[in-house]
């Protein structure tokens, strides 16, 4: 298909079939389906929903893997620097607990992406924070059992759960 795809035919076009196929390849790699159809019809998305002729590119990705790719593609809003014990735990597939965090940088909210750093500042991966930056600073270096005393409410044991992390 790629060998048959052409470049733009005229100056009004933003890209030929090669560009569309590249977009499809990117979408499918990220776990998303994509359709290519005639764009000059009135209300193309409505036409597509009503069964207009098109070519579908369907992702055959594991939803868990697609989520990991999505997390990895996000721009971090902060960072969590870890001690050596936490690094070892993450490499063994564990969640990130507050006790292993030695520094919290940036200003992030719950659910925001954060960079996960080793003790010298090298990026190990990314994850979605379960606490705000302010909360993370308060509980960093403390055991999960101490969270209620520090924050005044019972939070989650993990600062970043392993399902929300890419190492």
Q: What is the pLDDT of residues 26-50, one digit of tens each?
A: 888 777 889 998 888 889 899 999 9
Q: With bands split at pLDDT 50, 70 and 90, how would you rate the model's confidence at 24?
A: confident
pLDDT at 12 over 60: no
DSSP letter for 86, please.
H
pLDDT at 11 over 80: no
**What is the phi/psi pair of residue 125, to 5°?**
180, -160
How many angstroms separate the CA atoms of 145 and 56, rounded?
A: 50
Dump pLDDT digits (tens) for 65-85: 888 888 998 999 999 999 999
Decide if 166 contacts 117 (C-beta within 8 A): no
pLDDT reported for residue 153 = 96
Largest CA distance in the chain: 67
Average pLDDT on 99-125 reads 98
Q: With bands split at pLDDT 50, 70 and 90, how would you rate the model's confidence at 144?
A: very high
Residue 124: CA count within 13 A, CB half-sphere: 24
- Domain range 68-166, CATH architecture: Roll (2.30)
Average pLDDT on 13-20 reads 74
pLDDT at 15 over 90: no
Domain positions in the chain:
1-61, 68-166
Size (the chain), residues:
167
H or E stretch including 68? helix 63-73
- Model confidence, pTM: 0.69
pLDDT reported for residue 87 = 98
**What is the phi/psi pair of residue 142, to 5°?**
-105, 155
pLDDT reported for residue 70 = 86
């Amino acid at each position: 298909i790629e060998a048959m795809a052409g470049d733009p035919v005229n100056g009004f076009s933003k890209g030929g079939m090669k560009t569309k196929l590249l977009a499809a390849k990117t979408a499918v790699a990220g776990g998303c389906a994509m359709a290519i159809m005639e764009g000059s019809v009135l209300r193309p998305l409505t036409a597509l929903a009503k069964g207009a002729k098109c070519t579908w590119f369907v992702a055959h990705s594991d939803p868990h893997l697609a989520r990991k790719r999505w997390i990895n593609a996000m721009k971090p809003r902060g960072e969590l620097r870890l001690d050596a014990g936490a690094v070892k735990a993450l490499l063994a597939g564990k969640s990130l607990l507050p006790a292993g965090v030695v520094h919290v940088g940036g200003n992030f909210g719950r659910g925001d992406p954060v960079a996960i750093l080793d003790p010298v500042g090298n990026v190990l991966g990314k994850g979605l924070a379960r606490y705000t930056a302010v909360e993370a600073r308060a509980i960093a270096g403390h055991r999960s059992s101490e969270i209620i005393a520090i924050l005044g409410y019972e939070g989650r044991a993990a600062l970043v759960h392993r399902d929300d992390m890419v190492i």
